[in-house]
Chains A and B, each alone.
Chain A
């Protein structure tokens, strides 16, 4: 699986709630440890990445989660950067760099901005265009240093697949002109599997696994593929299935309340673990040699220590 870190651009997607951001940033930590200058780019418009490095909001916080959008590249740790990508901001930057004074003048009018933002798919195209720019050896933004690896914390499955398709659609709609040229370039970059990788994150549960398999089919239709499936939040082996009857017998003997609760929790853990094993098996069969597994962390919050622990796990399985 070491090939993953040899890509320059990796999209991380998956069903909502499976831990895409957590996995994206853990992968970023692994890359940074190897000395790769890495950036994790968030496309969903919510800045979760920085929040992972911050304490939880008190009393519900002062505002919307991730309200402080760092549209600029921010260094979170040595060699590890993050950016939250906003289409509007990306467009202004594009016009500034690409089209000179005229473009800038036109682009700065409210009318033009409203027009561009209203164009179906334009927000998606601008976002993915910025991702593409981050992954270039020669950055178009002046004085910007290149990255060795760009990890995209992409939107949830359905929309995530859509965003990978957008540049191709635009290249076909526009046919000629700068948008066609630029979208074509981005589409080719995405299609180049030695450059771009796609990772699906799933929990070992029925619905996320179904969605992962569905995502794979969608990608294949678009002539793309999944490079890896990361199973997140797998319960570590603890209680063997063979022990369940013993635990059940203990419960039937009507022990005191605490013992009873402890035995019940153990039975429940075992039941969930074996359900997880069955779901993991489905993924292994669908994606032989492409499945990595991360443990469930019994921690109150995912903070830096937990991210480092997940990075340790990833590093071990990537080796």
Chain B
């Protein structure tokens, strides 16, 4: 099993997982590898460190995909038959564009964008990145002619934020809670319905009048957009549920990301979202039997000076602690799967943060099972 088999017939691949497990790297490798096989692929990433994007030749945040020059990839020994496009999402700009699209008039859009509450919403609030990422994905899927879209979900502690945060934000934007407060036709304080008067008193007392006024102005401005927000949210939902969409879990083999991953998969299943498999990064493969370190040290002493022999033996013991840990955690995850593939990428000798690193990881994710087994033997044994 490998990535091309796993993504067979898919048009959208969403890479999700806890923070720090290699989502951005994995997304880039998948896009790169599928482009190498002849597809027209776009990878959408939110990569605050930017290093990876820079490696792909993207110097700044842009809200449209850019083609990665094939020469840049060929220089690292990867011939790209198709096209690789990449974009680094700027959440604030994407949000602004969304308002432009959904507002009834340009003037209304400008009013919303000038509102302080909106400015806070579009930058600082948790969920705004997730919301804009999914929204952008939807636009690309609908309007542009890519064979495959790969979405790197925003950095978060938990894989589930990707589902929960946009929902919170969408229900806010749809204004469910606010319809009770507001009459849809007018603006500002005067729109507060009569039934809201006692609540308003409470709000004044608790919040301060200017905030309430800013908020109701904002909600008033948003009023004629709520239908559009709802429609957009439904369309995005149906894209995520489509059979051409694949959710790929990216994880490391440590306990917490694996626990998260197990829960993530269950949540996907219960929400009817298409889960397609797991990539486990930085896996410490078991190097055969855990030889008694003392015997190993003695044997090494025939080759190396005694001090170095002791160090190599000590490292062997250290490594085996991690190999046993990784095996146990992955086993816990594997027991949950029902035939969905699980691909292991070993812990490499250095960090992956440039094209040559991506090409190294690519070999594991795109190899056949036999090739992968040989590669692993080559690295670790």
Contacts and interface: CB of A to CB of B under 8 A. Distances in A.
B187 interface: no
A51 B288 CA distance: 32
Contact of A156 (B19, B121, B353): B19
A262 B300 contact: yes
B279 to A, nearest CB: 15
Contacts of A176: 208-210
A35 interface: no
Contacts of B380: 261, 264-265
Given A106-B199, A272-B350, A65 B259 contact: yes
Interface stretch (B2-10, B138-146, B240-248, B325-333): B325-333
B291 A124 contact: no
Contact of A115 (B178, B257, B311, B351): B178
Interface residues of B, number: 90
B259 A61 contact: yes
Contacts of B206: 95, 99, 103, 106-107, 178-179
Nearest to A169: B120
B370 to A, nearest CB: 19
A157 B155 CA distance: 9
B116 interface: yes
Nearest to B313: A262
15 contacts: A17-B257, A57-B259, A60-B263, A112-B199, A114-B177, A155-B157, A157-B155, A169-B120, A211-B48, A238-B311, A238-B314, A243-B308, A246-B308, A261-B287, A261-B380
A301 B347 CA distance: 18
B163 interface: no
B20 A17 contact: yes
A250 interface: yes
Interface stretch (A76-84, A129-137, A159-167, A286-294): A159-167
B20 A175 contact: no
Please list the 6 inter-chain residue pairs (A to B) with the smallest Cβ-Cβ separation, ordered nearest first: A16-B19, A177-B208, A17-B20, A106-B202, A114-B177, A120-B121
Interface in A156-215: 156-159, 162-163, 165-166, 169-170, 172-181, 205-208, 210-211, 214
A145 to B, nearest CB: 27
A266 interface: yes
A121 B124 contact: yes
A156 B199 contact: no
A241 to B, nearest CB: 12
Contact of B172 (A118, A178, A180): A118
- Among A48, A120, A205, the one with the most B-chain Cβ atoms within 10 Å of its Cβ is A120
B304 interface: yes
Contacts of B336: 60
B209 A118 contact: no
A105 to B, nearest CB: 8
A65 B262 CA distance: 9
Contact of B315 (A64, A258, A266): A266
A298 B322 contact: yes
Contact of A60 (B51, B203, B322, B332): B332
